[in-house]
Structure 1
Amino acid sequence: MDTSFCIEALKHYGPPDIFNSDQGSQFTRSEFTQKLTDHGVRISIDGKGRWVDNVFIERLWRSLKYEEVYLKAYTTPLEAELEIGYSMVFYNEERDHQGFNDFTPDEAYFGRQRFAQ
């Protein structure tokens, strides 16, 4: 991935409020960080070797890859988008998480209750 890809994503999806990343060169180049700054985006870049700064999102990506993406052979981009979307809903609304005392993220963060199964 290079800086042009990141800039294209900004154009397509619009700027976020906060941009958090690791120290990848595509994220730290002034060409990209200036675009973020120009749009009023707050930049949060983890310290070198600070994987713990992103531990929750890293866990999410690991779970998504090993519980969904690596297990399937999607036939179209739309199928991948839909199936990964379903997986994200499951992860947040139905899947128990040991780190949340066996609550789902929705239950832990928002106090939402699961629907009866």
Structure 2
Amino acid sequence: MPGKAVCCPVEVTLKVIGGRWKVLIIHQLLNGTMRFNQLQRDLTGITHRTLSRQLREMEADQLVIRNNFNEIPPHVEYSLSPVGHSLKAILFAMDEWGRKYHVTIK
């Protein structure tokens, strides 16, 4: 049975950035290009496998650009694409809303 078609723009956004780690990865990459190990160090608690999977999905969704330098030892860098950078305002708006909401439920 084919999956449900996504028709709502908000649903599309949530599909692309949903989950525990994607927003945090985007947040880190807003500061600039990073290597895999640096991302893993900065994202406390994420496993190697999960980070790899999330980055592959984000690359497929055209949010992240992977630059492989074909060196030994491997040298791979990740950066946000223009589409990934376009999420900045959305993430900042979510941050602002979360701060206000957190104050109201205390």
**Structure with higher strand content:** 2
Q: TM-score, normalised by structure 1?
A: 0.28
**Structure with higher helix content:** 1
Larger RCO (CA under 8 A, 6+ residues apart): 2
Q: Flag the structure with larger Rg.
A: 1
Q: TM-score, normalised by structure 2?
A: 0.30
